[in-house]
Amino acid sequence: MDVRSGLGWDNHRLAAGRALTLGGVTVPSEFGLEGHSDADVLAHAITDALLGAAALGDIGMHFPDSDARWKGCDSMVFLSHAVALVHERGYRIVNIDSTVILERPKLQEFRQAIREKLAAALGIELERVSVKFKTAEKVGPVGEGRSAEAQAVATIAKD
């Protein structure tokens, strides 16, 4: 069996008046993520992990932020595109593990909704999608509430 793994990481600034969308789920928050698209840091990290597993470059190669088509775009579109590319190459997605690093708000109560949304976009069972949350213990730009980060690992396989 051909098993591959890919790593994804992303970072976005937090700003007032922006939505906080993580894995396609908009979470009530005073501050949201700033970026060209909807800045869904978790969707971006998982997209890069999938592209990485299949050695298909990175999110910016497929969706340049200089392209007006992607302005304000729902990042789940990027994720779905990466899923399609992985499938086109004959791979299935085995599992995803991820971590969102954000000082506040607390995200635990949204974990299930985020996992469900991601599992649907990924076309895999819920139990194959892991989403974890961490603070940065008040240290650095994430800890000071100026930004949010996400990390993801994707495993794909074909027989």
CB of 39 to Mg ion, least distance (A): 6
In the set 107, 121, 122, 152, which binds ligand C5P (CB under 6 A)? 107
In the list ligand C5P, Mg ion, none, the entry touching 107 (Cβ below 5 to 8 angstroms by class) is ligand C5P
Interface with ligand C5P in residues 131-150 (CB under 6 A): 133-135
CB of 98 to ligand C5P, least distance (A): 13
Q: Between 111-122 and 76-88, two packed helices, what is the crossing angle to 10 degrees?
A: 40
**H/E segment holding residue 8:** strand 2-16
Query: 38 vs 149, which CB is nearer to ligand C5P?
Result: 149
